[in-house]
Chains A and B, each alone.
Chain A
Amino acid sequence: MTLTATEKALPTDGGGGAGEVLFDATGVRKSFGGVHALRGAHITVRSGEIHALIGENGAGKSTLIKVLTGVYEPDAGELRFLGEDVQFASPAAAQDAGVATVYQEVNLVPVLSVARNIYLGREPRTRWGTVDIKAMHRKARELVRRLGIDVDVTGELGRLGLGVQQMVALARAVSVDARVVIMDEPTSSLEPREVETLFGVARNLRDQGVGIVFVSHRLDELFALCDALTIMRDGEVVHTGRIEDIDRSGLVSLMLGRTIDDVVGSSTGFTRESHVVEGEPVLSVRGLEARHRVHDVDLDVHRGEIVGLGGLLGSGRSETVKAVYGALQTEGGTVSVDGKQLRRGDVPRSLRSGIALLSEDRKAEGVVPDLSVRDNIALAVLSRVSRFGVVSDKKMDDLVDVFMKRLKIKASSPHQKVRELSGGNQQKVLLARWLCTEPTVFLLDEPTRGIDVGAKREVQALIGELAERGLGVVMISSEVEELMEGTDRVVVLHDGGVSEVLSGQDITNARLLAAMAGDEYTEEDVVAVLGLTDEDTTPQGATDAPQGAADMPQGATDMPQGATDEEER
């Protein structure tokens, strides 16, 4: 299946004036402790071409990049750079060969000047072996002028804006006469104006014959900048070709692995009737602002309602729930629970007001790995299970017992360390932790990410049950069918703002994908592009799979565990 897409899309002679093949990787495999992060990935980078590499978390992009740049050694596969078989031993070796990388975080030295950062390790020398500052400044000035960057090369790097710093990183990358430049989400912390300038520099490089691999989650950027693209999912390449041969919605559906035929019938653990909203909302958010991340987000959740929060990576979903919970600094907006406004940025008070947040990053923000299951569950309610500061074993056991049974947490005993549990059971432990706090509003950030299918259905069923008991639930999910089957309403975010609110019968695959991709495409466009008929867009009606989508890969529901997490940081 994968090959169909691939073969079709591998043009022997690109129409867009792409040049010779610079870097060609085929059949790249890489696994970590039995988890396959890459299962035969490939990418071809050509001279004078900006090549987008995209995929959701866990798709294997970062691993592929790390293989290309010598950070990881692949288990199998062939890397050909400038026509020769290569195997880079380190990032430095790759750099020397002409493969430079610009990372998401600026990896430079803030206290040194721009010029020193560009040439660190390869400075022009004086007779006495010291750095020839004058020559270095001259070369640096020439370089930044050639790239079209407006910056004083003698100035300290740390004083510059992040955007300029990122461009200096790019300048460093190309100062070695790099033939291939890999840019790993270089724009994620930049402002729009800075992004524009960075693009100018990238185009400039392309026109000088450099091959660029560009990783970004912002579709607008990809379409504005790139010439070719490779889409990855589950460690494999699901599509590669010219950018003009694909459109946003097609791209999103390939990336998420969702087409209409995938979501026939119930593939999730949700078995609920749509909820009738009545009364005042239990959670009410107005005009939430967090700099560069969340813009003017409104959100209402009623008792017994599950509100989905959709959007692609980087759309501001996680930031929104964190801001609501008080764990992210906000610049504006109000959050009220049961009509009572919360103080900003005060987690303990949010907790007391009845909000709970299940974070997306289970490892960094969730489990305390060396504590037992029991201690992890009781962490947020320690005072409730103790008397005069001494933990009451009985109270704790009672509480923990209830939740371990109810959530079917599989552990050898309540005293087993959480680090020894599977991802699914860890997630259940965290759910239990928050349920102990008896929340009225439960914010769930990707509650089923990276857990096995069985646990996933259980978690989904539990979420449904919680709503039936009267909790207001906000659920972030990257999985379209979770949003379709599990929620009463979906608020779709795009670039930090609400792009669309869908409810009831309107929550369809096509409309979700369109809203995630940005608001420029209507449902009709999506239908037309995917070659679907109207009836396919309603999930209940589509019993037989439409032809057009038959060769799309399926079954991406169970992502390889570990690979998901491997990529997160």
Chain B
Amino acid sequence: MSSATAPPTAQAGGTGGQQSGVQEPTPARRRRVDGEWVRRNGVYLALLVLVVINVIITPHFVSEGSLRLQLVQVAPVVIVALGMAMVIGTEGIDLSVGAVMALSAALMPLYLGYGTVGAIVVGVGIGAVTGLVAGVLIAKVGVQPIVATLGIMIGGRGLAIVIGGSIKSIDDPGLVALGTGSFLTIPYTVLVALAAVLVVGFLVRRTTYGRQVVAIGGNRRASLLAGLPVSRVLITVYVVSGLLAAVAGVILAARSQASDPTKIGLLMELSAITAVVIGGTPLSGGSVRILGTVAGALVMQLITSTLISHNIPDSMAQMIQAAVVILAVYVQIGRKGARS
């Protein structure tokens, strides 16, 4: 990403940033120039600081095993956050991801009769279905993204528990291999996440579809006037997010060799949104930052693992995480978001 290019010169150049009548006067603009840098690169800085701290204070942090564990744990968050980043790029939000993970993890073991691949296809397919429902409600009916995905969030997990019952252990050799095996010492789950990064990165950066996504998020009216297929793009974005959430659900179930619909993906929406936001993708849409999102997920993961490896109890860890979320989101969008 072109991070170090010229600072905004709307002032000198003319009318660009001056339009809205309630635009705040000069001081606010000044601050934004500094804030802009933090918003763009703060996540990498935070990642660096966390790594350095851990290298110093956490024993065995720099070891193959530890590194692999970190990556395995962060993989589902990365996968979900990528879809979330695309949704947020269109100025939307997807609260249903955690429930979709539970749903796919609950469904998959029931279809193992069709073979490992068949079960995975079903598990992933349910994500596409829920995404389609959300997308159609949002793009065609005009329901707010937060409302539509909230409905799926509520119903989805309930359905997952109803269908999947309580914890089911998974002993299908294919799934177990997916969850625990590795290729050239890289765990399959990490490879899946890597593949997701590459695919979504390609979608966003290289394809016409990717341009349409950010254009719609950046300026929907202009996109409509430019004849873009706005409804279609919105629907597919939610389908992609649902698909990726379902993939994460499958991976998580395979890794833990169990499907527990009450636990899988719990609060994943919060982790994913936080990863996206601290990665520099604005909640107001118009840009999707892939690397930033990955870094954001890593930051959240490192914070968690640091707390755990130093025997901070769950309770403290949760409270600290909550504070970090608020702080990170505040740095990214504080005082700008809700006021407009």
The interface of chain A, by Cβ under 8 A from chain B, is 32-35, 62, 66, 325, 327, 347-348, 351-352, 357, 359, 362-371, 375, 378-380, 382-383, 386, 389-391, 412, 415-426, 433, 450-452, 561-562, 564-569
Contact = CB atoms under 8 A, between A and B. Distances in A.
Nearest to A73: B25
A562 to B, nearest CB: 4
Given A371-B214, A420-B8, A422-B14, 15 more contacts: A33-B18, A66-B21, A365-B225, A369-B286, A371-B215, A371-B286, A375-B215, A378-B211, A379-B215, A379-B228, A389-B208, A421-B16, A433-B226, A565-B18, A566-B19
B176 to A, nearest CB: 37
B222 A366 contact: yes
Nearest to A452: B14
A439 B11 CA distance: 33
Interface string B1-34: 0100110111111111111110101100100000
20 contacts: A32-B18, A32-B23, A327-B225, A347-B224, A351-B226, A365-B219, A368-B214, A368-B215, A368-B222, A371-B215, A379-B223, A389-B208, A390-B207, A412-B6, A416-B5, A417-B5, A418-B16, A419-B8, A421-B13, A422-B13
Nearest to A418: B16
B201 interface: no
Given A327-B225, A371-B218, A566 B13 contact: no
Contact of B225 (A357, A416, A423): A357
A366 B225 CA distance: 8
B15 A365 contact: no
Interface of B: 2, 5-6, 8-21, 23, 25-26, 29, 206-209, 211-212, 214-215, 218-219, 221-229, 286-287
B29 A33 contact: yes
A369 B218 contact: yes
Contacts of B212: 382
A415 B2 contact: yes
B18 A386 contact: no
A382 B5 contact: no
A423 B5 contact: no
Q: Which 7 A/B pairs are nearest by Cβ-Cβ distance?
A: A422-B13, A423-B14, A423-B15, A562-B18, A422-B14, A368-B218, A565-B19
B280 to A, nearest CB: 11
Contact of B14 (A66, A378, A562, A569): A562
Contact of B219 (A32, A369, A382, A412): A369
Which secondary structure dominates where chain A touches chain B? mixed
A364 B221 contact: yes
Contacts of A369: 16, 218-219, 286
B18 A367 contact: no
A66 to B, nearest CB: 8
Nearest to B212: A382
- Residue of B17, B26, B209 contacting most chain A CB atoms (<10 Å): B17
B8 A32 contact: no
Nearest to A368: B218
Contact of B15 (A66, A325, A564): A564
B225 A347 contact: yes
A66 B212 CA distance: 38
A423 B15 CA distance: 5
A380 B218 CA distance: 15
Contacts of A357: 225
Contact of A379 (B19, B21, B226): B226
A379 B211 contact: yes
A450 B19 CA distance: 11
A566 B23 contact: yes
A374 to B, nearest CB: 10
B224 A569 contact: no
A565 B229 CA distance: 29
Contacts of A383: 208
Nearest to A348: B227
Given A368-B222, A565-B18, A380 B6 contact: no
A170 to B, nearest CB: 22
A423 B29 CA distance: 18
B11, B218, B223, B226 — most chain A CB neighbours (10 Å): B226
Contact of B16 (A347, A422, A567, A569): A422
Contacts of B226: 351, 379-380, 433
B6 A416 contact: yes
Nearest to B219: A368
B137 to A, nearest CB: 23
B10 A367 contact: no
Nearest to B202: A390
Nearest to A322: B225
A390 B206 contact: yes
Contacts of B228: 379-380, 382
Contact of A412 (B5, B218, B286): B5
A547 B14 CA distance: 36
A362 B2 CA distance: 25
Contact of B209 (A347, A348, A389, A564): A389
Residue of A325, A450, A565 with most partner-chain B CB within 10 A = A565
A489 B207 CA distance: 44
A35 B18 contact: yes
Nearest to A434: B226
Contact of B286 (A347, A351, A370): A370
Contacts of B229: 348
Given A369-B218, A562-B18, A386 B13 contact: no
A412 B4 CA distance: 13
B120 to A, nearest CB: 26
B21 A327 contact: no
Q: Which of A62, A66, A365 has the most CB of B within 10 A?
A: A365
A433 B219 CA distance: 15
Contacts of B207: 386, 389-391
Contact of B227 (A351, A391, A569): A351
B25 A419 contact: no
Nearest to A393: B206
Contacts of B2: 415
Contacts of A567: 21
B218 A426 contact: no
Contact of A565 (B15, B206, B211, B219): B15
